[in-house]
Homo-oligomer: A and B are copies of this chain.
Amino acid sequence: MNAEKNARHAARMARKKAIIDAHIAEANIDTGIMILLTGNGKGKSSSAFGMVARSIGHGMKVGVVQFIKNRTDTGEEAFLGKHCEWHVMGDGFTWETQNFEADKARSEEAWAMAAKMLNDPSFDVVVLDELTYCLSYGYLDKEIILRDLESRPEMQHVVVTGRAAVPELREIADTITELNDEKHAYKAGIRAQKGLEW
């Protein structure tokens, strides 16, 4: 690499730095935000649990409610559950039970737990793992969910995960990441791997 190319690289990076610095200077608000991780790709719950780990590292108080999953042998619960409030409140994926009324009742119990956290300013971060399914399958009343989410303490963050988030959740979220499945080991016959997927 010659000096001219080096200089061009430095110039391009300087322009990039100026743009980014200007954005950083503009963004100066601190507030509780709602992050929505949706789409079919692998990494939605993992991402929420990464934020749990970060928050624990800062000494923040975290609550997690799992709406669909029911297994209690996961790595995330074994490790993170020791450092925050962790509630596994699903009864498996909805197609496992095939009983609408039972799933609805279970979801409502889980929401009662979530609502308690969303009403408690001592919680800095609340994770509602796989909540989206409860809305898209009609297990929970959208109006109640939206009201409880929107009336939470001002500085409280909330992270919602799950496929196919309904438009109302997208509307109130501050940050939305859509995770798209470009390739998946599963399709090559590799089953869910310990540590990566549970």
Residues of A within 8 A of B (CB): 1, 5-6, 9-10, 13-14, 16-17, 20, 23-24, 26-31, 33, 35, 37, 39, 41-58, 60, 74-80, 83, 93-101, 124-125, 157, 159, 170, 173-186, 188-198
Check A98/B35 contact, CB under 8 A, given A174-B190, A195-B125: no
* 29 residue pairs bridging A and B, Cβ less than 8 Å apart: A1-B101, A6-B101, A9-B98, A13-B97, A17-B96, A17-B98, A28-B191, A31-B190, A35-B185, A39-B180, A41-B178, A41-B179, A42-B175, A43-B47, A45-B50, A46-B48, A49-B50, A50-B76, A51-B195, A51-B196, A52-B53, A54-B197, A55-B194, A57-B78, A79-B83, A125-B195, A173-B183, A176-B181, A178-B179
Q: How many monomers of this protein are in the complex?
A: 2
CB contacts (< 8 Å) of A51 on chain B: these are: 46, 50, 195-196
Are B43 and A177 in contact, with the CB atoms below 8 A? yes
Closest to A25 in B: B191
